[in-house]
Amino acid sequence: MMKKAQASKKVVVAMSGGVDSSVAAALLREQGYEVIGMTMNLFSLPKEVCRSESLKSCCGRQSQEDANRVAIALGIPHYLVDFRREFEQTVIEDFVREYGRGRTPNPCLRCNQFIKFDLFLERANKLGASHIATGHYAQIEWDPTAGRYLLKKGKDKDKDQSYFLYTLTQKQLARTIFPVGGLTKKDVRAIAAKYALPVAAKEESQEICFVPDQNYPKFLKDRIPEAFRPGPILDLQGRVIGEHNGIVHFTVGQRKGLGIAAPQPLYVVSIDAESNVIVVGKNKDLYRNSLQASEVRWIAVEKLGEPMSVRAKIRYKHEEAGAKVFPLEEGHVRVEFEKPQRAMTPGQAVVFYEGDNVVGGGIID
């Protein structure tokens, strides 16, 4: 439980219009912080799309209105900041570029790294805030022995979001509060009802926010037309067994949409964007013992000087697996697993844990 805050402590809460960030703001106000709500405008969608009852994305206009209603209910000031240009440059352009390379990116990682805990913190500084806060299910703890802030899993293991936060720096962790990290989703709903927040029963946002219908090919069609060129589908022996209609339609481990009649199910094993080739194989061909990752960031340690035994996740919903991480040059690492792992996907993150602590992570190459 958070300690009672000094009256001078000012915190800016990233209010998405959802129940988690709304409860975060309510809890901080109860703790005695001077709370300011701030909603980030990250992208533009047509009005009729944003107001669709079936939409489960944290869509701009509707989210802004919901966040403002919560701020009014809590009696706190609420601001809207326009980060659309920065979001396009750092998140969407990377998303498009990665798909064009035959990779499968996770834009939430980029958004957290460059927008929510970088640009947002800069804007909070201009308001004289000591901290920022979000509705993430994760926890931050100071370790006096190591002299470092630790990032820990959220209490609710089903909602834990520490996987998406491994890029946070020590400076960012020192200035960040996760008020709902020590709660379960059920607890959060109950608190929202207690405060009669207008979003208490609101459904959660799902999937990628700037692709509300989750139709990635439709979103990418005008941006990277070269990724929609037909090309060969090969088996592991290099024989042509079919034709694809563009590499953006596929990801490693995918089974559906291949259009190939075969005695056994076939899966995408690899994608070669340069040659415009999809390689397929059996399920057993998806298993690998090791991977290499780049853009590695560390939290529990300053850097990796020698091999370290960890538990590793190769995607958000992946079960942790025993592994050893070996440092390489230029911020790269090699990860060797105790048991083969299925569908290691370039562009996704591999995140390392020791118990509940996030050690670090990187992008699978």
- What single letter denotes the amino acid at residue 119? L
Q: Strand order in 176-177's β-sheet?
A: 78-82, 34-41, 10-14, 131-133, 176-177
Give 171: exposed, middle or buried? Use CB within 10 Å, 0-12, 13-18, 19+. exposed
pLDDT at 229: 96
Q: Which of the two residues, 284 and 1, has the higher pLDDT score? A: 284
Catalytic residue, candidates 50, 58, 108, 111 = 111
Mean pLDDT of the chain: 92
Residue 59 annotated to the active site: no
Output 216 or 274, whichever has higher pLDDT: 274
Q: What distance separates the 2 farthest-apart alpha carbons in the chain? A: 70
* CA dihedral of residues 71, 76, 77, 78 (deg, nearest 10): -20
pLDDT at position 48 is 43
Which two three-digit tokens encode residue 130?
């000591």
Contact 276, 246 (CB under 8 A): no
Measured CA distances, 102 to 92, 266, 270, 273, 348 (Å): 16, 18, 9, 5, 12
Q: Among 125, 116, 209, which residue's Cα sits nearest to residue 169?
A: 116
Residue 55 has pLDDT above 80, yes or no: no
Q: Topology of domain 232-281, per CATH?
A: SH3 type barrels. (2.30.30)
* Whether domain 10-194 has CATH 3.40.50.620: yes
On the question of pLDDT at 51 being above 50, the answer is no
For residue 52, pLDDT beyond 60: no
Could you tell me which residues are beta bridge partners of residue 41? 82
DSSP H or E segment with residue 131: strand 131-133
Burial bucket for residue 49 (CB in 10 Å: 0-12, 13-18, 19+): middle
Burial class (CB in 10 A: 0-12, 13-18, 19+), 55: middle
Q: Can you state the angle between helices 19-30 and 60-74, rounded to 10 degrees? A: 20
Q: Do 44 and 69 form a contact (C-beta atoms < 8 A)?
A: no
Only one residue has tokens 């009696």, namely 75
Q: Long-range contacts of range 161-164, CB-CB < 8 Å, 24 or more positions apart?
A: 161/136, 161/137, 162/137, 162/138, 162/351, 162/358, 163/313, 163/316, 163/349, 163/351, 163/361, 164/106, 164/108, 164/109, 164/112, 164/136, 164/316
pLDDT at 349: 98
Query: What six digits make up the tokens of 113?
Result: 């790294």
Q: Is 246 left (phi over 0), alpha (psi -120 to 50) or beta?
A: left
Among 120-129, 205-214, 268-277, the least confident range: 205-214
Structure token pair of residue 258: 């291949």
The predicted pLDDT at position 45 comes to 57
Indicate whether 47 pLDDT > 60: no
Q: For domain 286-364, say whether CATH 2.40.30.10 is its number.
A: yes
- Selection from 81, 84, 45, 79 nearest residue 62 by Cα: 45
pLDDT at residue number 222:
86
**pLDDT tens digits along 111-167:** 999 999 999 999 999 999 999 999 999 999 999 999 999 999 999 999 999 999 999
- pLDDT value at residue 212: 72
Confidence of residue 8 (pLDDT cuts 50, 70, 90): low
pTM of the model: 0.92
Query: Which of 361, 364, 363 is closest to 301 using CA atoms?
Result: 361
Q: In what order do the strands lie in the sheet with 231-234?
A: 240-244, 231-234, 277-281, 267-272
Catalytic residue of the set 58, 59, 108, 209: 209
Cβ neighbours of residue 17 closer than 8 Å, sequence gap 6 or more: 39, 58, 62, 63, 64, 65, 66, 67, 70, 199, 202
Domain map (residue ranges) of the chain = 10-194, 232-281, 286-364
Q: Would you call 58 a catalytic residue per the annotation?
A: no
Establish whether domains 10-194 and 286-364 are of one fold. no
Q: How many residues does the chain have?
A: 365
